[in-house]
Structure 1
Amino acid sequence: MPEPPLGESRLTDLDDRVKVAGIRLDALTEAQVVDEVMTAIERGRGGHVVTPNVDICRAVSRNPSLRALVDGADLAVADGMPLVWTARLLGSPLPARVTGADLIWSLSGAAAARGLPIYLVGGRPGVADAARDALVARHPALVVAGVDAPPYGFDTCPEAVARVRARLVAARPSLVFVGLGFPRQDRLITTLRDDLPGAWFVGCGSAIAFAAGSVRRAPAWMGDHGLEWLFRLVSEPKRLARRYLVDDLPFALRLLATSLLRHRAEDPRRRDAMRAAR
């Protein structure tokens, strides 16, 4: 990622983040993320939001370069209740789950209120256009500076990336939602940030498809109880069965079990320390 201007640091200090599953997360609510991003834009400073979930944590645990990608973001928030539960067990609670699918709406609303243009990158042909229409329908003052649905694999072709860059730079948005999936979206963001140093980029996964209505999102109660993965599995079993059942679910269960055992082991130590302090 580009270095901050001289005399400034990244938006958050890595040491202030909560470490969960080998990555560091900011203890922020959705409203606080929106406030941080809007304040930074008003000050002329851009940034990068990453929203790790269990699948991202699993990938990061096996690849140091992916961990560096998450650590390099200006804001990293937990998109997954297992991460919130784990942080709670470890004694460093996160205030809430913050998803890209929610941020696309709340950040767009804040941008509309301030007259800040946004830009959408990702989705199949027509999906980003439908997402644009849905966002404007909810926030009529919203300015969508452009939408782009580059073909799958474009990010491996320098000429195709250059075309995406040229369109983005010409539009000059303040807020860019990139929905290509991790790590593709976040790698692309790191290559584009120098061209728009005052813009904020959000790696938002399926948020553009959710906003468009082309992919159904789980009811809020399922997300709040850590069951959104089950809803998506039932909706897209062929595409998601291996990811959720073979890869992510065992990883999440091991993560929670390890954290629970650590929590139970540390409880007696806390009690002994409290008695000794009396």
Structure 2
Amino acid sequence: MQIASLLLYARKFPENLNGTDLVPFVLEKCGVKVKVFLFGARPDSVRQAAARLNSIEHVYICGYRDGYSCWSDVSEVINEINAAEPDIVLVALGNPVQELWIARYGSELVAPVIVGVGALFDFLSGNQKRAPLYMRRLRSEWLHRLICEPRRLWRRYTVDILQFGLTVLLKDNERMRDLELMLGRMTLEVEILREALELARANDTIALSRSFPGEMPR
């Protein structure tokens, strides 16, 4: 999100919006009872993370399942999650597997909110150490993780980051072109709407009798 914001708007977020801090913060501040299902990570990590999150007021962990015993029968996982009727499903299968899983199976879940959380369960359980506080404040936690797991993460923080940046820029250009085309086609409609609003302000009524070109007046 930080990279996309910088590329598109030349602005960064005031706070560090990493999921490890953001997800627990949102759960703590939600103010209403919320049912959460945890899916992913190792069995001990997800179990300890469930206990940790369950201690948050208003949060009820309605179920959890590790990410190592689920691939033989995905339908079983989906049924287990849906049976718990969660409001939120936290998926910790690692990037990009969790995003692909959510894209493929998210529509089959009853939960209205599904969030990919990466290594959150490992951090909450204490099975994986986070970067020192000063690195987090400098928003350099990615560097700490790269140093700790270079073979697994080097591609994510080099090739994948570059690909993501290019995708954001290209998608934004496509969106702008589509918007320009749409506005060009809608110019006449916008002018007619503006005229109607001006008439409404003047007369406190909307009485628009002008028709679109090519249409028969009614």
Q: TM-score under structure 1 normalisation?
A: 0.51
1:141 CA displacement:
4.0
Matches of residues 209-224 of structure 1 in structure 2 within 5 Å?
A: 209-224=122-137
1:152/1:164 Cα in 2 relative to 1: closer, same or farther (>3 Å)? closer
CA contact (8 A) 1:172 1:196 kept: no
1:101 CA displacement:
1.1
Q: Which residue matches 1:200? A: 113
CA contact (8 A) 1:117 1:142 kept: yes
Matches of residues 183-262 of structure 1 in structure 2 within 5 Å?
A: 183-241=96-154, 243-244=156-157, 247=159, 251=162
Q: Which residue matches 1:105? A: 24
1:242 CA displacement:
5.5
Q: Which residue matches 2:42? A: 124
Percent of aligned pairs sharing the same letter: 29
Q: TM-score under structure 2 normalisation?
A: 0.63
CA contact (8 A) 1:146 1:171 kept: yes
The 2-side partners of 1:94 and 1:166 are apart by: 40
Q: Which residue matches 2:64? A: 147
Task: Between the two structures, name the one with larger relative contact order (CA 8 Å, sep ≥ 6).
Answer: 1
Q: Give, as a single letter, the amino acid of the residue that structure 2 aligns with 1:145.
A: C
The 2-side partners of 1:198 and 1:162 are apart by: 15
Residue 169, structure 1, aligned to residue 82, structure 2: yes
The 2-side partners of 1:237 and 1:197 are apart by: 37
1:136/1:150 Cα in 2 relative to 1: closer, same or farther (>3 Å)? same
* Unpaired segments ≥5 residues, structure 2: 167-218
Matches of residues 8-87 of structure 1 in structure 2 within 5 Å?
A: 78=1, 80=2, 82-84=3-5, 86-87=6-7
Residue 115, structure 1, aligned to residue 33, structure 2: yes
1:116/1:199 Cα in 2 relative to 1: closer, same or farther (>3 Å)? same
Q: Give, as a single letter, the amino acid of the residue that structure 2 aligns with 1:148.
A: R
The 1-side partners of 2:40 and 2:111 are apart by: 21
Q: Root-mean-square deviation (CA), in Å?
A: 3.0
Q: Give, as a single letter, the amino acid of the residue that structure 1 aligns with 2:128.
A: V
Q: Which residue matches 2:205? A: none
The 2-side partners of 1:108 and 1:178 are apart by: 15
Q: Give, as a single letter, the amino acid of the residue that structure 1 aligns with 2:125.
A: A
1:205 CA displacement:
1.1
Question: 1:175-221 deviations in whole A, cap 9, x for unaligned?
Answer: 11101123321222234433445520001111121122211111343
CA contact (8 A) 1:108 1:118 kept: no
CA contact (8 A) 1:150 1:164 kept: no
1:83 CA displacement:
4.7
The 2-side partners of 1:135 and 1:153 are apart by: 22
Larger Rg: 2
Question: 1:85-117 deviations in whole A, cap 9, x for unaligned?
Answer: x33xx6442434422212320232245x31111
CA contact (8 A) 1:218 1:232 kept: yes
1:167 CA displacement:
0.5
Higher mean C-alpha deviation, range 91-100 or range 128-137:
91-100
